[in-house]
Chains A and B, each alone.
Chain A
Amino acid sequence: MPYIPLEDHLPGITGLLEYSKETAAPIRELTQILLRGPSTLTEGERELIATVVSHRNQCTFCTTAHTAAANILLGEEETSARVKQDIITAPVSEKMKALLTIAAQVQQGGKNVTTASVQKAKEAGATDIEIHDTVLIAALFCLYNRYVDGLATVTPTDPAFYKGLGERLKNNGYNRLPQGYEHLKK
């Protein structure tokens, strides 16, 4: 049970974003720009960064939700599974391996990012903006994962829930739904 009263029909992050709409607005805006805004990284690649960081922060809700979003965007399920297992042998480009490695270092702590790993990303063709966005996406999910688990929000166990959420993240992105969330009440 969550540590504060959240709406029953809104598990995970959504209940928190509805509980505190003033703080939710900039968090949603930041996420929309980083994961859905113009970028030379695909939406699927950016969801993989979110997935890897959430997985390493042991946040089941965020990991499952962003895995679902990545799978829908990539059109397959192997890549998200493999990057969680081992970045280096996963079926992604050398550039993505280097960026995911940086994201994993950010998850540990900002100071863990090494000049060598940044150099490797640059040699694999990563631009400064891509490196910037990778670090900020990884840092943002260190926020989300702590927010979601730190207040003990509900983590659904039904895979159908995450499939629906993944679809919503693909079709609507991270902006608050214009009609709100009342329609999700059963």
Chain B
Amino acid sequence: MAHIQVEENIPGIRSLVLFRPETGKPLYDLAQVLLRGPSSLSEAERELIAAYVSYRNECIFCMSSHAAAARCLYGPDKNLVDEVLHDMQQSGVSDKLKALLHIAGKVQVLGREVTPEDIAAARVLGADDREIHDTVLIAAAFSMFNRYVDGLASFTPTDLAVYEAMGERMAKGYVLPASPEPK
């Protein structure tokens, strides 16, 4: 049960933003601009960074939902998502994306863990300033979202089918929920 009185049976962050829509709006706006706004990283790649950080933070709700969104966006290459969550370095994603995921993993631990060598390695593989910026901010943002979702013990569904449907909805974008979903 959640630590505060939120609507029961509404999963994860949705229950929290329905509890406090004032803060919910900028949280959803941030997710939308970071994960769906203009970027030379694809939406699938950005969702993968989100899922990877959430996995490292052991946030089951965020990890499962963003992995589902990433699978949806990767389409025929959706197996890459599970490869990265299983063993990032051995996965089939590009070396550039590996270098960015490595930086995201450092950010997940703490900002000061990121070294000039980590950045240089990403640049050699073609990452530009904007991609490095976006990677760090996505990783930092999920260090927030994960703590928000788990810090208030919001409801984490265990049925994988729930996340599949969630991922399909998330792939279309992040819109603040207006009212509880029909049961």
Interface residues of A (CB under 8 A from B): 3-5, 16, 19-20, 22-23, 25-27, 29-30, 33-34, 37, 57-59, 102, 105-106, 109-111, 113, 115, 118, 128-129, 131-133, 135-136, 138-140, 142-152
B 1-40 contacts with A by CB, 8 A:
3-5, 16, 19-20, 22-23, 25-27, 29-30, 33-34, 37
Asked if B107 and A146 make an inter-chain contact with CB atoms under 8 angstroms apart, the answer reads yes
Q: Answer yes or no: B166 CB below 8 A from chain A CBs.
A: no
Within the complex, what minimum Cβ distance (angstroms) separates A117 from chain B?
9
B150 at the interface (CB under 8 A from A): yes
Judged by a CB distance under 8 angstroms, whether B136 is at the interface is yes
Q: Are A23 and B33 in contact (CB under 8 A)?
A: yes
Q: Please name the residue on chain A nearest to B4 by beta carbon.
A: A128
B113 to chain A: closest CB distance in Å?
A: 8
Given A4-B133, A5-B129, A109-B58, does the pair A150, B150 have CB atoms closer than 8 Å? no
| Contact of B110 with A128 in the complex, beta carbons under 8 Å | no
Instruction: Using known A-B contacts A22-B33, A23-B30, A106-B151, determine if residue A136 contacts B114 with beta carbons closer than 8 Å.
Output: no
Interchain CB contact under 8 A, A146 and B110: yes
Contact between A58 and B110, CB atoms less than 8 A apart? yes
Distance of A62 from chain B, by nearest CB (Å): 10
User: Which among B84-92, B94-102, B137-145 touches the partner chain?
Assistant: B137-145
With both chains docked as a complex, state the minimum distance between the C-beta of A99 and any C-beta of chain B, in angstroms. 12
In the complex the two chains form, is A132's CB within 8 Å of B26's CB? no
Cβ–Cβ < 8 Å partners of B25 in chain A = 29
Given the known interface contacts A4-B132, A149-B110, A150-B111, the answer about A26 and B148 at a Cβ–Cβ threshold of 8 Å is no
Main secondary structure of the interface of B (DSSP, over half): helix
Q: What is the size, in residues, of chain B's interface with A at 8 Å between Cβ atoms?
A: 47
Known A105-B151, A146-B139; judge A139-B144 contact (CB<8 A). Answer: yes
Interface contact A26-B29, CB-CB below 8 Å: yes
With CB as the reference atom, state the residue of chain A lying closest to B110.
A57
From B16, B23, B107, B143, A34 is in contact (CB under 8 Å) with B23
Point out the residue from A57, A110, A129 that lies within 8 Å of B146, measured CB to CB: A110
Query: Which residues of chain A are near B16, meaning CB under 8 Å?
Result: 132
